[in-house]
Amino acid sequence: RVHQVAKHMLYSSSSGLYSCPLAMTDGAMQFFRGSPKTASNPIFANAFSRLMSRDPSKFWTSGQWMTERRGGSDVANGTETLAFPQPDGSYKLHGYKWFSSATDSDMTLTLARIVDPIGHYVQGTKGISMFFVEVRKPDGSLNGIEVQKLKDKLGTRQVPTAELLLDGADAILASEEGRGVRAITPMLTITRLHNSLNAASAMRKILQMARDYSLRRKAFGKAIIDHPLHVQTLHRMEVDTRGAQLFVLDAARLLGLEETNQATEDESLLLRIVTPLLKLYTAKMAIATISEGLECFGGQGYIEDTGLPGMLRDAQTNGQTLQVFFNSLESRLEAASQSNFVELKEASKRLQGSSNNLKELLKDALNEGPTFMELAGRDLAYSLSRLYIGSLLVEHASWTEATQGDAFVAQRWCEQDLCPVVTNFNNGHYSQTGQLQNRTTVMEGYPQ
């Protein structure tokens, strides 16, 4: 996985977003690899071989059509598509898929509720199953699929995303009945990793372009690389980019161990918490870094034919476990104690202090009630992400072949507020008073 992700990071930002269908294809392939039905069902075996093929004439891409009108993250209550059993054991799907990326894929995996002979179906998560659908019939016509409209998206326009009406689409049950949500979970882990590597790739590309431009562009009599303020901006971008890259590569390492059955229990738990943090934090980092990168080009950064504004638009669209998380931080910080770089000593000290503060806050959070975690959830995710990236940068700078620049990057990363959730808690942002202040400010002057 690490090798694949490293190569993909080099490719992604120049792929014209072909990386998007590849991400969903990767997820579908892994589903078939782990499904016991693949060996016994020739249709699934054929799909698996095509998803794996390096022969362009045989290779298939896959979609993942999960989102419906009421959809989003609430799959259990948002899935309204119905699956009607047929005499031959297949199904006919009827429903409306509101946001379907890679519409031109060869196949898709999608969710629906199976209808029994008297027209009943199970609500909630237990009623959802996953189905395999070939997009086209052997004669080339669409398989009971009608394209209602293409989405007029802010970014990622290279990837066709459509609203699709499934009107009797032929389908085969891919998961166990009622286990559709469980079946898509490993696929989501993979697509989250791809989302994050795409973000890191875009960050690196805009930084490379900005660095090259700084050698060519002159302002006030000298190249802009010779202006200290500009170099400071590039340096801050470099720190964030290296952090994002290490975050992605470590998640790839954990996923690779999991997929090859080599992961320890702690590594499996760590993967569970790292994956959603990775997607959230790298997406936010990419938006900030690319926005900053555009400004490095001056007015040219906002001219469409340079291709730069499109990078910004594309960037925007993209108890025991915690103990394992903190244990992983501790093990990385131990490595820094043997380093010759003095910068790592202070970085490790700040990481350790922030980690301890967060652990104390989490103990107190048990007495704060559910509203506290709802308010603090995003800040907690940011805090965990910053601590994890900081530990990776410190560990990386502790290796024997690390450079002085690696130590500087770790130092700069750890000089920021590593635990905004603790800072905001101490400032009362999650209290009743803080909530009232939020609402008063937001709704000020608006009739209610």
State the Cα–Cα distance between residues 409 and 398, nearest whole angstrom.
12
Q: Is the dihedral of CA 194, 198, 199, 204 positive or negative?
A: positive
In Å, the largest CA–CA distance within the chain is 81
Do 64 and 57 touch, CB atoms closer than 8 A?
A: no
The secondary structure of 100-164 as a DSSP string is EESTT-SEEEEEEEE--TTS----SGGGEEEEEEESB-TTSSBSSEEEEEE---SS-TTS-EEEE
Q: Is 156 exposed, middle or buried (0-12, 13-18, 19+ CB in 10 A)?
A: buried
Per-residue pLDDT band at 90 (split at 50, 70, 90): very high
- Cα distance between residue 203 and residue 312, in whole Å: 10
Q: What is the mean pLDDT of the chain?
A: 87
- At 342-363, the pLDDT tens digits run 888 889 999 999 999 998 888 8
Residue 118 CA, chain-centre distance (Å), reads 41
CA 317 to each of CA 31, 181, 381: distance values in angstroms, whole numbers, following the listed order = 25, 23, 19
Rounded Cα distance between 1 and 196, Å, is 14
pLDDT given at position 252: 96
Written as one string, the DSSP assignment of 308-374 is HHHHHHHHHT--HHHHHHHHHHHHHHHHHTT-S-HHHHHHHHHHHHHHHHHHHHHHHHTTT-HHHHH
Of 39-53, 298-312, 334-348, least confident by mean pLDDT is: 298-312
**Region 309-323 average pLDDT:** 62
Q: Place 331 in a pLDDT band, splitting at 50, 70 and 90.
A: confident
**% of residues, the chain, pLDDT over 70:** 94
Is there a contact between 204 and 137 (Cβ–Cβ < 8 Å)? no
Predicted local confidence at residue 300, as pLDDT? 56
Q: Evaluate if residue 318 carries a pLDDT over 70.
A: no
pLDDT tens string 25-55? 999 999 999 898 999 999 999 999 999 999 9
Q: For strand 82-85 and strand 91-101, is the pairing parallel, antiparallel, or unpaired?
A: antiparallel
Amino acid letter at 394?
V
Q: Which long-range contacts (CB under 8 A, 24 or more apart) does 212-220 make?
A: 213/296, 213/297, 214/296, 217/298
Taking CA atoms, 316 is separated from 38, 112, 154, 296, 312, in Å, by 36, 29, 9, 19, 7
Spatial separation of the C-alpha atoms in residues 296 and 283, rounded to whole Å? 20
pLDDT digits (tens, 9 = 90+) for 389-437: 999 999 999 988 889 999 999 999 999 999 998 998 998 888 888 888 8
Single pTM value for the model:
0.79
